[in-house]
Amino acid sequence: MLPFNFEWVWDMGHYVFHGGLWYALTVIGLGMSYCVIKAVIDTSKGKGAGHH
């Protein structure tokens, strides 16, 4: 799964499979990080309070 794993080989199969996996995980991770960090900033600015 990771280059320092003893089974890792630098070949096309690993590039494609793990490249796809890490690409998807990166998009999901960055997307969620953006949402959470922005929510923290928005909340600290008082946004969203008293909307009811």
Partner 1 sequence: MDSALIPDGVRRCPLWKFLLGLSVAGAVLLWGVYAMLLCWVKGLNQTNMNDYYGFALWIWADLAVIALGGGAFFTGLLKYVIGKDELKNIINYAVLIGFICYSSALLILAIDVGQPLRSWFIFWHANVHSMLTEVAFCLSCYFAVLTIEYIPLVLENRQLDKVPFFHNLSHNMHSAMAVFAATGAFLSFFHQGSLGGVAGVLFGRPFAFREHILIWPYTFFLFTWSAAAYGPSFTLFITWLTEKITHKKLVKDNVVFLLAKISGWMILTYIAAKSVDTLYWMFQTAPAQGLQWHFFYQNNAFYGKWILFTEIILCGWLPALILVYRPLRERASWRVTAFVLGIIGVSLNRWVMVLQTMAVPVMPFDEWVLYIPSWQEVATTILPVAYGVILIMISYRYLPIFPQEKELNPITIPNGQEPELTTDPQDLAVKTMAVSNSVEEVAAT
What residue ranges bind partner 1 (CB under 8 A)? 1, 5, 7, 11, 13-14, 16-18, 20-21, 24-25, 27-28, 31-32, 34-36, 38-40, 42-43, 46-49, 51-52
Burial label for 36, CB within 10 Å (0-12, 13-18, 19+), is: exposed
Task: Please state, in angstroms and as integers, the Cα–Cα distance from residue 27 to each residue in 14, 19, 20, 24, 33, following that order.
Answer: 19, 12, 11, 5, 10
Nearest distance from C-beta of residue 33 to partner 1, angstroms: 10
Nearest distance from C-beta of residue 27 to partner 1, angstroms: 5
Nearest distance from C-beta of residue 44 to partner 1, angstroms: 9
